[in-house]
Structure 1
């Protein structure tokens, strides 16, 4: 795990304790037909009403609708669709644990088998949020245990999970199959031990003092398609994975400090690779090797081995341009570097027009194009103009309001925007808030946007999941105006350690929509306006 990395709710309690499996392939005749007496002594069955027929059809059809966005749209058609969609949803996604209460969620969706739950915003990964802010899993664990005894999977991201929470999961779900904890805190090995011992009986094969034969083991797994878990790699062991490389579609080296020469004999055989995560220790030379071989690549993430702003970045525009020229099916990229040129970014926008995610993180603050000295406006402008499917964008480097004008004019599908050390006036943020109708998540740090920029989004905040702004130019009065104008929006002002409560400047603002109103577990350093 990498740590640096609607409104209506049904009160329908019908069949609350039924397992979701009861819904599958069931005939609805019993519910839709009424038995009445007749002269023959046999029951007569009346035809169901048209709306009942529709609900029966919907139940069977909606089982095959897996996209949560499609399901959300279906639930808004009418009350009948709303009710049936809730009855047939087996996987529940909640992007903000404070957007809805556990009791409200479990009352509406009564047949859930899998839960995806997110807590703290992403910038918590960068130590921009005090550790005791909240996102406690405990009320959710208790509600799940009561409502879904058949639960099979829980995926948690940036939640605070205790050992007792893990014990609750282990003791409550006899058929539990999968627990995923991403960037979570609060638990220890004892909690995991309890969970594993009660949930999944393990068979342990001891190796003793004998050195494992990795070469033979990997040679017997030639059908392997996904490989990860590499941490401290001894170079002599790398040849052991050569036999499985030809079939790999996913390879994760994001914790493996390897260089280009160690990577080349591996990557040269990965012709089917679609997902590749790696450290920048492979340098531009390693990325050129990836570009030469991995023509099917869809997702690339290049993480920094040294994330300091003043470090020497081993990857640059050279590696990015090579990837854009060699991996033209690329759909998603996360790229940490210390320098980048407009030319390389423009080339990527033209060579990889199917990009859905473009996250370029230039770690040094306000860094221009090192060749021309110009801001990076034209590069990011090309991305939003040429990549018509773009939904997620992270911008950095020296950027003026011109870049945000581009985003507002052309980023019509952008749902998530991350901004760091960028912009030169309130107009920049205004361009985005007024021009990006699909915007759901907006996170900004160390940028000059103030109260006027914040007010420009009043028309859109109810449609967003959250807005995060830290180290900007906001005041408490400006945030208070937003809170008064939008009573269904939770406006949190988060203070740093030692910061006075009455200080008019706002260090961190976190705004999110919620059906429940302000949360009750806010710590002392959080003021809800």
Structure 2
């Protein structure tokens, strides 16, 4: 009968134990969303988060002002939203901002920024906000709101003299009708804009797009009074010719957005400010582009909407933008336009190609991907698509984080299905977080969906439109295969296989008191999987889900466990291309390679060379005498509960384990990569240097600044492992 672990089980009802565990876990949680979740289950984190949080976003339908005040009394930035995007009963509700404004007037003394989206805002609300918080507000953004007029904006103009950002978007035509009430917004040019221009001297961003604001006299006065601060300027339909004086005053202006209403003759002599870096203009015919030619070489952001440009003119425009980083275009030039973008705009980070005429094909997409290798966001409408084009994206766009492809023609897939292309793209674009695919039925099968589940582990947003009739492949791909292997002692070892279909497989070994679920093991397995290499992570006996008794030393036993795993996969006709171990796992893989000469590649990640070091820090002084006297040493947690027992036998096994001899006995044909952090606080970097001296075919890689767990250096760790495997995989 298999023995059981002697590690005591913590009772979930004891809050202090849970807090202790969370204190140990927190340093490994870097994602802000995950930290938010932790604050909901840890009282300590909850209290600290409530005191230190500086910004908060609230869907007002789920909360109330008093709860916000109790939870986050010191926030500096607040976003109030109405409904989540997927809320199904929004037509039955109208959410008024009044109770929130009343609470802001009484509390939240630290508030400096407020954003309101999708709520009913009355003039009285703006008056209360401006009178009570106006002197402190630095940013006010109102989007998709109804119910107020220019009277409310007058109060903001009077009392919010220190605003640096003032934005009003998508409000002019808004009509909200619900439960017998109708809410309109009525914002007209007039005294409020003039008042704002008189009172403002530090305004940096004035965004009143789609609001009907076009009073040239008031806008010129605003630009004059804010000439040393104004850098971003957005308005709706306007005559650029009337804003010549405003642009001459706004000498620091870098961004302009507006809808031009001028005739060609009106723009003679017009000039934009010299420091322009970003431009968004709607319906701007060909001849008028002469006014932007002088500074196109310094433009970084360009948005061309509903453009009537001729073929040659638009391509000529792209040729003049070598420093362009963000581009939105409704290009009519098709593949030729996309090829010119790739040829001349090599610094592009974000491209949205939303052409309705002259749609591009897979040919243009291939040309773009090969040349604009810095792209992080790509959104494109296509007439046709192919596996080759999608593979090309994966091969060349290694920094891609957002990818949206919209196939607009039903018969636009040149080779069905696109499964292999999607697989190659996901394997190549390891940083991809958002994937939006809009195809036609038959474009992807369950196999392709399976690939998305397997290789899209880093995805945070996934949208699949007109893909197929089943999600079975997607469900299958998100599951790892649990495999149970019996060791020499008859105990069951539990592991998870990241299967890619490759014959080669890499085995990952955790460290002291670790498990297969340790984040480093998971990240390495997923990274290997994304490169098409299968990986297996498992629990040593006495750890995690595996059977057996936890032991302090246990090195020989864990080497035997690893041998059982290797034999299992070898018997299944798989090739073990590499074994990797971290910390104590690093010792295990080195010991294994010294005894069994059947592994071509070994990764020793932060393994210990001098086995007598680090014991006193864990067991206390005179540990050997105490173990001999009592036969064991009990290790307790901070709460006084027994964590594990160190027997004299297990202690002596560790002390008698000779890593120097093991390193010398590794076969000359075995390639070993020793990785160590220069700031390792558990096992000093000197241990890695000693391994490098004695292991015959060893390469040493020091990760500068890394601690024992590589908390801030995981990317370098993963990339180093992958590069070494690719370099030596041909030897397997």
Partner Cα distance (2:438, 2:464) in 1: 6
Are 1:371 and 2:422 an aligned pair? no
2:95 corresponds to: 136
Residue 523 of structure 2 is matched in structure 1 by none
Which residue is equivalent to 2:463? 418
Q: Which residue in the other structure is 1:274 paired with?
A: 325
CA shift at 1:338, angstroms?
Answer: 3.7
What is residue 88 of structure 1 aligned with on the other side? 52
In 1, the alpha carbon distance for the partners of 2:242 and 2:84 equals 43
The answer to which of 206-215 and 294-303 deviates more is: 206-215
- Measure how far apart 1:412 and its partner are: 0.7
* C-alpha contact 2:54 2:76 (8 A) present in aligned 1: yes
Structure 2 distance, partners of 1:130, 1:151, is 32
What CA distance in whole angstroms lies between the structure 2 residues aligned with 1:404 and 1:209? 50
- Aligned match of 1:202: 197
- Tell me the distance in 1 between the aligned counterparts of 2:477 and 2:65: 33
Describe the SS at the equivalent of 1:315. Answer: coil
Instruction: State the SS of the aligned residue for 2:336.
Output: helix
Is 1:74–1:85's contact at 8 Å kept on the other side of the alignment? no
Please list, as runs of the form range in 1=range in 2, the aligned pairs for 1:348-359 lying within 5 A after superposition: 348-359=393-404
Structure with the higher fraction of residues in strand conformation? 2
Aligned positions of 1:10-89 closer than 5 A: 68-69=32-33, 72=36, 75=39, 79-89=43-53
**Unpaired segments ≥5 residues, structure 1:** 1-54, 56-61, 306-311, 436-529
Is 2:272 aligned against 1:225? no
The size of the alignment, in residue pairs, is 356
> 2:426 matched to which residue of 1?
384
The answer as to whether partners of 1:250 and 1:274 remain within 8 angstroms in 2 is yes
Cα pair distance change 1:143/1:269, threshold 3 Å? farther
Query: CA contact under 8 A between 2:359 and 2:382: conserved in structure 1?
Result: yes
Distance in 2 (alpha carbons) for counterparts of 1:260 and 1:71: 51
Task: Map residues 108-119 of structure 1 onto 2, 5 A cutoff.
Answer: 108-119=71-82
Q: Is the 8 A contact 2:286 2:308 kept in 1?
A: no
In structure 1, the partner of 2:351 is 300
Matches for 1:58-457 after TM superposition, within 5 Å: 68-69=32-33, 72=36, 75=39, 79-94=43-58, 97-98=60-61, 100-120=63-83, 132=91, 134=93, 136=95, 138=97, 140-156=100-116, 159-164=118-123, 169-174=129-134, 175-181=136-142, 184-187=144-147, 190=150, 193-194=153-154, 197-198=157-158, 199=160, 201-203=196-198, 204=218, 218=271, 220-221=273-274, 223-228=275-280, 230-254=281-305, 256-305=307-356, 314-364=359-409, 367=410, 370-372=413-415, 374-397=416-439, 398-431=443-476, 434=479
Scaled by the length of structure 2, what TM-score is found? Answer: 0.43
Partners of 1:259 and 1:286 within 8 A in 2: no
Question: C-alpha root-mean-square deviation of aligned residues, in Å?
Answer: 3.9
Residues 355 and 390 of structure 1 are in contact (CA less than 8 Å); yes or no, is this contact kept in structure 2? yes
Displacement of 1:166 in angstroms is 5.1
Could you tell me which residue of structure 2 aligns to residue 45 of structure 1? none
Q: 1:291 and 1:83, CA in 2 relative to 1: closer, same or farther beyond 3 A?
A: same
> Which whole-Å CA distance do the structure 2 matches of 1:99 and 1:252 have between them?
37
- Give the match's secondary structure for 2:430: coil
CA contact (8 A) 1:134 1:160 kept: no
TM-score for both structures, normalised by structure 1: 0.57
With CA pairs under 8 Å and 6+ residues apart, which has the higher RCO, 1 or 2?
A: 1
C-alpha contact (below 8 Å) 1:280/1:315 kept by paired residues: no
Q: Distance in 2 between matches of 1:257 and 1:123?
A: 36
Q: Tell me the distance in 1 between the aligned counterparts of 2:476 and 2:447.
A: 9
Cα drift, residue 85 of structure 1: 3.0
The equivalent residue for 2:16 is: none
Distance in 1 between residues matched to 2:292 and 2:241, nearest whole Å: 20
- Residues 61 and 83, structure 2, Cα contact 8 Å, conserved in 1: no
Higher mean C-alpha deviation, range 239-248 or range 349-358? 239-248
Structure 1 segment 508-523 matched on structure 2, within 5 A: none
Match of 2:197, SS state, is coil
CA distance 1:71–1:143, change in 2 (3 Å): farther
**C-alpha distance in 1 between matches for 2:470 and 2:156:** 53
Partners of 1:256 and 1:279 within 8 A in 2: yes
Write the deviation string for residues 185-231 of structure 1: whole angstroms up to 9, x where unpaired: 5356647744653446225256999755568664642x322222x12
Once residues 135 and 318 of structure 1 are traced to their aligned partners in structure 2, the CA distance between those partners, rounded to angstroms, is 49
CA gap of 1:297–1:113, structure 2 versus 1, over 3 A, is same
Q: Structure 2: which 5+ residue stretches go unaligned?
A: 1-22, 162-195, 199-217, 222-238, 245-266, 481-732
Q: Per the alignment, in what secondary structure is the counterpart of residue 48 of structure 2?
A: helix
Cα displacement (A) at 1:87: 1.7
d(CA) in 1 for partners of 2:448, 2:62: 32
Residues of 1 paired with 2:408 and 2:148: CA distance?
32
Q: Secondary structure at the match of 1:136?
A: coil
Distance 1:255 1:216, change over 3 A: same
Change in CA separation of 1:262 and 1:168 when aligned onto 2, cut-off 3 Å: farther
Q: Partners of 1:216 and 1:68 in 2: how far apart?
A: 50
Is the 1:339–1:369 Cα contact (8 Å) retained in structure 2? yes
User: 2:149, 2:76 → 1: CA distance?
Assistant: 26
8 A contact 1:260–1:285 mirrored in 2: no
**TM-aligned CA deviation for residue 381 of structure 1:** 2.5
Report the Cα distance in structure 2 between the residues aligned to 1:119 and 1:342, rounded to whole angstroms: 42
For structure 1, which segment, 281-290 or 352-361, has the greater mean C-alpha deviation from structure 2 after superposition? 281-290
Q: CA deviation at 1:357?
A: 0.9
